[in-house]
Amino acid sequence: MAGAIEEGGKVAESIVDALKREPISLALVLMNVALLLIFFYVAQKSSETRAHEVNMIYENQKHTAELLAHCVDPGTLREILDQFRGQRSDNEIPLPRPRPEEVPVNDGG
């Protein structure tokens, strides 16, 4: 085990000596480490932003779906569901029903 530690120390010493002889190598190593850290930071922020945008989209769609759900007449919705469940014959075509006519109110005058 002591041999492995000594070998590791020799390797580390030779690396430090090489970096002392050529300081540009040390600068390149430091720049690469800094670049990796910047890439990690940008990826992290991008992921957070995307998650926030997706949550906003889902909330907007949920709100729109709730609004649309209140716009459908329950009787019409029941007819549509019955048709999809096969309770109507295939030959029968559902026709739109006219709205009931409003009776004019007589003010008595």
Residue 93 within a domain: no
- Residue 10 belongs to what domain range? 2-84
Q: Count structural domains, the chain.
A: 1
Cα dist. 100→80, 97, 103 in Å?
A: 20, 9, 9
Residue 10 within a domain: yes
Residue 13 within a domain: yes
Mean pLDDT of 93-98: 68
Residue 55 within a domain: yes
8 A C-beta contact, residue 25 and residue 19: yes
Which among 90, 101, 91, 96 is positioned nearest to 76, based on CA atoms? Answer: 96
DSSP code, position 100: P
pLDDT of residue 56: 92
38-47, 63-72, 92-101: lowest mean pLDDT where? 92-101
Residue 92 within a domain: no
What the block records as the tokens of 95 is 């026709």
- What is the rounded distance in angstroms from the CA atom of residue 78 to the CA atom of residue 95? 15
Higher pLDDT, 23 or 37: 37
Question: How far out from the chain centre does Cα 48 lie?
Answer: 10
Residue 38 within a domain: yes
Residue 61 within a domain: yes
Residue 41 within a domain: yes
